[in-house]
Homo-oligomer: A and B are copies of this chain.
Amino acid sequence: MPGMAITFRLHAVEGAARVGLLNTPHGDVPTPAFMPVATQGSVKALSPDDLKGLGATILLGNTYHLYLRPGPDLVQQMGGLAAFMGWNGPTLTDSGGFQAYSLGPNVKIGEDGIAFRSVLDGSRHLFTPEKAMAFQQAIGADFVMALDQCLKYTQDKDAVCAAMDRTHRWAARCKQAHTSDSQALLGIVQGGVFQDLREESAAYVTGLDFPGYAIGGLSVGEPKSEMYPLTAFTAGLLPPGKLRYLMGVGSPEDLVECVARGIDLFDCALPTRVARNGGLFTRKGRVDVGTAALFRGKEGPVEEGCDCYSCRTFSAGYLHHLFRAKELLALRLASIHNLRFIARLMGDMREAILIGRFAAFAQSFLEGYRTANEEERLRQAGKRMARARE
Chain A residues with CB under 8 Å of chain B are 40-42, 44-49, 65, 69-70, 74, 77-78, 84-86, 296-297, 299, 313-315, 317-318, 321-322, 324-325, 327-329, 331-333
Contact = CB atoms under 8 A, between A and B. Distances in A.
A69 B324 contact: yes
Between A65, A297, A329, the greatest number of chain B beta carbons within 10 A of the residue's beta carbon is seen for A329
A322 B69 contact: no
A314 B70 contact: no
Given A74-B296, A296-B70, A47 B86 contact: no
Copies in the complex: 2
A331 B329 contact: no
5 contacts: A41-B321, A41-B322, A45-B328, A84-B317, A328-B328
A330 to B, nearest CB: 8
A299 B75 CA distance: 11
A296 B321 CA distance: 37
Contact of A74 (B42, B44, B297, B314): B297
A329 B47 contact: yes
A85 B320 CA distance: 12
A78 B318 contact: yes
Given A78-B317, A297-B77, A325-B42, A332 B47 contact: yes
Contacts of A47: 313, 329, 332-333
Contact of A321 (B48, B49, B69): B69
Given A44-B328, A70-B321, 14 more contacts: A41-B327, A42-B325, A42-B327, A42-B329, A44-B327, A47-B332, A47-B333, A48-B313, A49-B313, A70-B297, A74-B296, A78-B297, A86-B314, A328-B332
A88 to B, nearest CB: 11
A317 B261 CA distance: 43
A325 B85 contact: no
Contacts of A331: 328
Contact of A329 (B45, B77, B299): B45
Contact of A42 (B78, B86, B296, B322): B322
Nearest to A70: B321
Given A47-B329, A299-B78, A70 B324 contact: yes
A296 B77 CA distance: 11
A99 to B, nearest CB: 14
A318 B46 contact: no
Contact of A318 (B86, B318, B322, B325): B86
A48 B329 CA distance: 10
A41 B322 CA distance: 8
A106 to B, nearest CB: 23
Nearest to A68: B325
A37 to B, nearest CB: 13
A75 B36 CA distance: 35
A154 B144 CA distance: 64
A321 B78 CA distance: 12
Contacts of A70: 296-297, 317, 321, 324
A40 B323 CA distance: 11
Contacts of A85: 318
Nearest to A71: B297
Nearest to A74: B297
A71 to B, nearest CB: 9
A57 to B, nearest CB: 19
A319 to B, nearest CB: 11
